[in-house]
Structures are given as C-alpha cells and as structure tokens.
Chain A
Amino acid sequence: MRYVKDVALVIRSKNAGPYELTFDLMFPDEETYDEVRKSITKAKIAQLYKIEESEVLSLVHFAPAHAIKITIVRPRASGDLGETDVYGAQQHAPLFDLTY
C-alpha cells in the first residue's frame, strides 16, 4: 500500500461550475498513472469525504494528461449559506490520505 500523494504531480480541487466540485490527480508518466488508476474507485472517494457513493458524479481516466478526474456534488451551490470555500480550491486535502 502506498500513498497517492507520494507519486502524484498534482492533487487539486476546483469548482466545475457553481454546483459541482472536481478533483484532478495527475501523474508524471503513463506507468504510474496506469498503476494508480486501477485502485481509485468511487467508493474510496465517497469513504474519504464521508459522502454517499451516488454523490460521486464521475470518475474519469484521462490518458493524454496522465490524469484521474473525480467530480462530486458540491455541498451547496458556490457562495450559498454556510459556504466555506467559494472557489472550491482547498477541498483536496483528504486526497492526501488516498492509497493505492
């Protein structure tokens, strides 16, 4: 078992529009990307963020950028009552606990 954070080049989060939150994991080469992507599942992401699996809207492998993209339902529309992160740019930290 290894930590994704130790091999990823990029671990980031951002709004994908005001109602979705998207995470990008990018890797330095095809080999690492291929190795990691096999063990990243919607269930793992749901567990990490303590959300329902149905709230993980998509998990896409994007080979041209050696990247895995995960999109979840935003806890609220950007800027709505109780907002903590309007841009959604600091919601990635739990991914540092992700293993493969």
Chain B
Amino acid sequence: MEELRILSPTAILGYGFPLASFQAGLERNPHVIAVDAGSTDPGPYYLGSGQSFTQRSAVKRDLRHLIEAALTRKIPLIIGSAGGSGARPHLEWNLAIVEEVLQELGKTAELAVIYGDIDPQLVAEKLKKGEVQPLGPVPQLTEEEVFACTNLVAQMGLEPIMEALENGAEIILAGRAYDPTSFAAYPVLKGYDLALALHMGKILECAAIAANPGSGSDCLMGYLYEDSFVLEALNPQRECTKISIAAHTLYEKSDPYFLPGPGGRLDLTKTVFEQLPEGKVRVSGTTFIPTDGYFVKLEGARLIGYRTISIAGVRDPIMIGQIDSVIEGVKERVADNFQDLQGYELHVHCYGKNGVMGALEPHPEPGHELGLVIEALANTQEVADTICSFARSTLLHYGYPGRKSTAGNLAFPYSPSDVSAGAVYKFNVHHLMQVEDPKSLFPIKMGRSGL
C-alpha cells in the first residue's frame, strides 16, 4: 500500500495556523485536508443557542487558505462538526462562510453538507424500546427532556462522509461528527486499516496539540501505511515525541486504552509508539473492536432561563470572616422580599475562597480579599435582573455582627454594576442510541458551490 498523507491545519477551525506550517504541509502533497471544528468544552450554550464558539472572521480566514489550497490541488477538504456543535444553525452559518469565500476566490466547488440533527420523535420511540442509554454518570433520559432540546444532534461515524466523498464532493461540511471521522473517512474509503485510520484521526483532530511544545493553532501531518502511521509537526519549532503522542491519547478521555466511537471502540492495549528521527513518531498495533449493534452518541441542550450577574470585591476583614453567613442572610432577605417570585436561582461565587472548585475545594479558607460574582437565573431576563439587582443592593448595605464599615460592603469595578447575560442552556442529553443503519440518520445534500 502506498503512503497516504493527511494535513491537519489546526485543532479547531477558526483557531488559525502559521502560513509557513501550512505551506510546509502542502509541499508534502497531502491527499486530503481535514479539520475538526467541534467541541462540547465551551459548555452547553453553543449547542443550545445554535451559535458558534469561534468568530466568523477567524473561521473565514482559515477557510480562505484551506479552500484555495484544496481546490488548486484538487484534493478534498473535510470539515467535521461544522460551526462547533454541528446542528443545523451551525452548519448553515459555516456554509454561508464557505459560499462567501468561494465567491471571493472566483471559484466553484462540489459541496456536500451532512446534517447531524436528530428528530426528537425518533429518539422518543427508541427510548420506549429501550434503545437509548445514559453514557457515563448521566441521568436516564425522559421523553420530556428529548422534546425540550433546542438542538439535538448525534455524532456521525465514517459512513456518511465516505458516501459524500464517493459522490464526488470537493468540500464536505459535516454536522456533529465523531472527531476522528473527518480524517479517517478518506483513508478507509481507499482501503486502509480502520483502526489505524481512526487512531491517526484521533491524534490529527487536535493538530499540533499532540506535538511538543503543543499548540492548538498549528499544523500536524499524518502519514498512513498498511501497518502503521507516522506523525510529523510542520513547524520546525515543534516536534512529535513518543511521549507527546502517547500522552495525547489521555487528553479529554476517561480511559486511554479504549476509545469508544460510533460502531465500536479503538483498543490501544497493544499499541506501540516508536520515536523516529527528525521529530517524527510511528504508531502501530492499535485494533478496532466492533460493538454488537451500531450506537451513536446523542447530544442535546435545552434552555433553562436567563442570567444576570454582578461583580464586586470585598476587602473588609470582619465581613470576610463571616462571608458565608452574610451571603445566606442576603439570600433569605431576597426570598422574603420576593415571595411571589418562584423558580429563580441565586448563587454567589466566592473567588478567593472556593470560587474555582466550589464543594470540591479542600482549602476553603478565604484570602485577604474576595471577588464575588452574584448570579441570578430566572425564567425571564426581567426577573433575573430584579433578583440580581436586589441581592446586590442588599449585600452592599447588609448589617452583619461587628460591622465597622457602615458606608458599604462592596467594591464595584463597573458602573453599571449588573450585566444581563442572556439565555442559559444546559446539556440534557448525553446518551447512546442504537441505530440499524449508520447512514440513515445523516442526510447528505449536495450542490455546486451552494445548496
């Protein structure tokens, strides 16, 4: 089997890359350029609201270089989890950028868009049949939660992307996709080993994060062979080391030996990492164990209300000494004053004490100054504004035992002191669903430079 080369320009589309690294990658004649755009790391807001967590101008900058290179060289460009969360609004947002870039370059291309949205009705039916199960320490799914999702997606496997490639797509925008698939679809279509292609994709999807020193905004090159693959950093200031590549398998995963995905899991128990000259690493021995039945991971988020925050500092040692009871007292005052308002939440983050770790903090002793974030969450922005404002003014003038500083308890860095932070979402679906056909959930639309 001949060498197959894949260029991964950046860890997330929109995170950027040095043009010199990208050029070095192109000089190695890649067969495909692939990039992952997705992550759940930035939290539930982006899936729930349909917004991208990357900025449009940054994504457009990356795409201009990627599209121009791919079309000039007549190699496919594959983008996974387009728009960050890979639901329909994210895909459409990304598609508009692609169309704009094509127009500006004066080029046309065969586009494929693969949707990852899942019909809640289907999930509800599967739920009744017992074909939906929690993934990890997650509550059982209920029909109510399914229908409450503002966006509900599933991570696609290789199959839909392979089909788009077979149909001649030059640029593929995939909805929510298992991270390695954008990289592995092309080699698997060409007959390369599934396990090695997926494992290489698993590393390439984070681009130079797996190099040393690591970076989320630099390129990584993958070379796939019949029985192994090799990784190379394209920036001379970085190198791939045995440890940096092996360690990457740990990143954001709970078990480095078994990496589950659609249709099965990668088994790394016999994987060998071998240091090669010139900062390259060879990987071999990884296997793929298919699951009994094909499972996809569902991800959903729902609206839970609107948030208002207020930021303030406390420097008075007497108040700091009793901060917990002061905050409790304020909460009671708020509850008493707004007995007619139900269903709001009031939370005070206490930086300098346990603001970062909350209940997990083993050393909750306060420092000499505290940073407070008063946070109100309610069904409407108006109620959230009201609760936050009232809690802030109550705390400002709260009379605690032994108080000497009777003019005010809080130091505000800003005027206005309160910020309406808008809609708040939560992840409410993180489950596995069994499907009969790995492709049927993910419809493909194709068109010349636009849909």
Contacts and interface: CB of A to CB of B under 8 A. Distances in A.
A66 B256 CA distance: 12
Interface in B44-85: 44-45
A79 B254 CA distance: 19
A20 B251 contact: no
Contacts of B40: 15, 17-18, 78
Given A64-B246, A73-B137, A81-B345, A22 B254 contact: yes
Contacts of B377: 81
Question: Which of B135, B250, B377, B426: most chain A CB closer than 10 A?
Answer: B250
Given A65-B247, A79-B45, A86-B42, A57 B254 contact: yes
Interface stretch (B25-33, B114-122, B314-322, B358-366): B358-366
Given A18-B44, A81-B345, A60 B357 contact: no
Contacts, number: 136
B297 to A, nearest CB: 9
B273 A64 contact: yes
B135 A60 contact: no
A20 B250 CA distance: 14
A82 B137 contact: no
A75 B356 CA distance: 12
B253 interface: yes
B269 to A, nearest CB: 10
Contact of B256 (A19, A50, A69): A69
Contacts of A48: 362
Interface string B174-211: 00000000000000000000000000000000000000
B289 interface: no
Interface residues of A, number: 44
Contacts of A43: none
Contacts of A67: 246-247, 250, 256
B294 interface: no
Contact of A14 (B43, B247, B251, B357): B251
Given A20-B137, A60-B256, A94-B362, A84 B356 contact: yes
B137 A62 contact: no
The interface size bin for chain B is 35 or more
Contact of A82 (B42, B246, B347): B347
A31 interface: no
Interface in A38-87: 48-51, 57-58, 60, 62, 64-67, 69, 71, 73-75, 77-87
A97 interface: yes
B249 interface: yes
Nearest to A10: B247
Interface of B: 40-45, 135-138, 242-243, 246-247, 249-257, 271, 273, 304, 345, 347, 349, 355-360, 362, 377, 425-427, 430
User: What 5 pairs across the A-B complex have the smallest Cβ distances?
Assistant: A79-B43, A64-B246, A65-B247, A65-B246, A71-B254
22 contacts: A15-B252, A17-B40, A17-B252, A17-B254, A19-B137, A20-B137, A24-B247, A49-B360, A50-B362, A57-B136, A60-B255, A65-B256, A71-B255, A75-B358, A78-B44, A82-B347, A84-B357, A87-B41, A90-B356, A91-B357, A91-B360, A97-B362
Given A79-B426, A94-B357, 15 more contacts: A14-B252, A17-B40, A48-B362, A58-B254, A64-B246, A65-B256, A77-B44, A77-B426, A78-B427, A79-B43, A81-B345, A82-B358, A84-B349, A84-B358, A86-B41
